[in-house]
Amino acid sequence: MALAARRTLRGAGTLCAQGMLQSVLHRSCHHVLRRSLAQALGAATTMAPSVQFSPAPRSLFDEPLAITVHGLCPQQEVTLRLSLQDEGGELFQSCALYQAESSGELELTRSPALPGGSFSGLDPMGLLWSLQPQNPFRRLVKRDVQSPFCLELEVFEGHGPLPSRLLARGAHERSFLREGVRRIPVREGRIRATLFLPPDLGFDYPLQEPSVSEAFSKDGAKGCQLRVKGPGIGLLGISKGGDLCISMASFLKGITATVTINGSVANVGAVLRYKDITIPPLGVNPKRIKFDKSGIADIVDVLNNPLEGPDRQSFIPLEKAEGHFLFIVGKDDHNWKSEFLATEASNRLQAHGKEKPEIVCYPGAGHYIEPPFSPMCSASMHLLVGSPVIWGGEPKAHSVAQVDAWQQIQAFFHKHLNGKQGVTTKLGDPRL
């Protein structure tokens, strides 16, 4: 009995010990599983894809923007889509196909866009300059420079149709006024203008706000300019604004530097009157309009030759100008023959013993050469024609032209307004 009891107790003790061991092992495994799961969830949380902009959260409109996506799987295929809505509610979008690096990071300064999106190749700013309107014949124009454009970047899984599974989203602002710049509306008689006064950068004269009458009197304009930059005035015009700038430089005093972007040296569109001078508009022949397969008008041959017949009266007498000229030319401009017009302006200046102007031509660039990284407008409504017209240009070449032209323009103004020879400007440079 005693032996049996001891055996029973020993057996019971063995069973009890085994049960306790199993219970401990169960709890230990459960703890390990919970810890592993927590670690996995923590890793998933820390490795969730995210978008980083530099500089953040805002940059100037002409400043390069670095975009990086963190937390992707090694070599993961993703699609990036950039969206921008203008003040009128028009949506512009672009997309690009990418593959993450082995580290799971995607940095657009190192990773090329793959074929199949809005652009391909290594171009960190490609998503901006390849933006296109969702509705045809719309041009991206900033109406109110006091507010920024808001960019939204979405990262989607894979290279299939969008939208697929959204992995990450980021936002960034592109501003048009540097901090401290003052914007002053000008309303005097028929004048409608805006005066932008930069913050004090150490000018020779104290920065003062001129009265409207002072700013637009002959002596007051000069005085206003003296307070800001120097003794001369610079003009910049694009398209029709180009021939207006040439006219101002030809008839007004104090204009020392004039830049035209795909402008005309002949008066276009309407009669120009200054004192007792009248310049008729260059003649046009609507029969020379061509149409592409989509029915979009090509008006490059519509204008008459300003060197022939009565149209010679429309040629602006730019030989009367006292300042310097820079002509920015898109060689694929389909609004008019910008290269021909710039060349004839140069010929006329030199024939009258004037300085040969600077002419910078860009192959593959169209009519609207705008600030860096602006999307190219290939076609939009033309108010005078009353229908959509082709503006010309190849997107990548046009983008390259815009970056270089912006630097050429700033260097030109620094040289002739500030007297600084050989100034090299960087994108986003606040000095001008």
Given the residues 367, 398, 414, 416, select the one marked as catalytic: 367
Instruction: Give strand pairing partners of 235.
Output: 258
333 among known catalytic residues: yes
A 10 A CB-CB count for 378 gives: 21
Amino acid making up residue 387: S
Instruction: Give strand pairing partners of 261.
Output: 238, 328
The encoded tokens of residue 236 equal 């910049």
Distance between CA 264 and CA 385 in Å, rounded?
17
Name residues whose C-beta falls within 8 Å of residue 295's C-beta, 6 or more positions apart in sequence: none
Distance between CA 278 and CA 107 in Å, rounded?
58
Q: Look at the block and give the residue holding tokens 């304009």.
A: 221
367 among known catalytic residues: yes
Whether the Cβ atoms of residue 375 and residue 399 lie closer than 8 Å to each other: no
Distance between CA 111 and CA 124 in Å, rounded?
8
A 10 A CB-CB count for 188 gives: 12
Task: Specify the long-range contacts of residues 40-46, CB closer than 8 Å, at least 24 apart.
Answer: 46/71
Given the residues 333, 374, 378, 380, select the one marked as catalytic: 333
Using CB atoms within 10 A of its CB, is residue 65 exposed (0-12), middle (13-18) or buried (19+)? buried
A 10 A CB-CB count for 240 gives: 16
A 10 A CB-CB count for 348 gives: 18
Q: What are the strands, taking DSSP E only, across 111-242?
A: 132-133, 149-157, 166-175, 182-188, 191-197, 233-238
Cis peptide before 115 (omega within 30 of 0): no
314 among known catalytic residues: no
Distance between CA 305 and CA 323 in Å, rounded?
26
Given the residues 239, 338, 346, 399, select the one marked as catalytic: 239
Whether the Cβ atoms of residue 402 and residue 36 lie closer than 8 Å to each other: no
Please report, for residues 108, 113, 131, 152, 234, the alpha-carbon distance to residue 121 in angstroms, rounded to integers and kept in the order given. Answer: 10, 5, 16, 22, 38
Catalytic residue set? 239, 333, 367
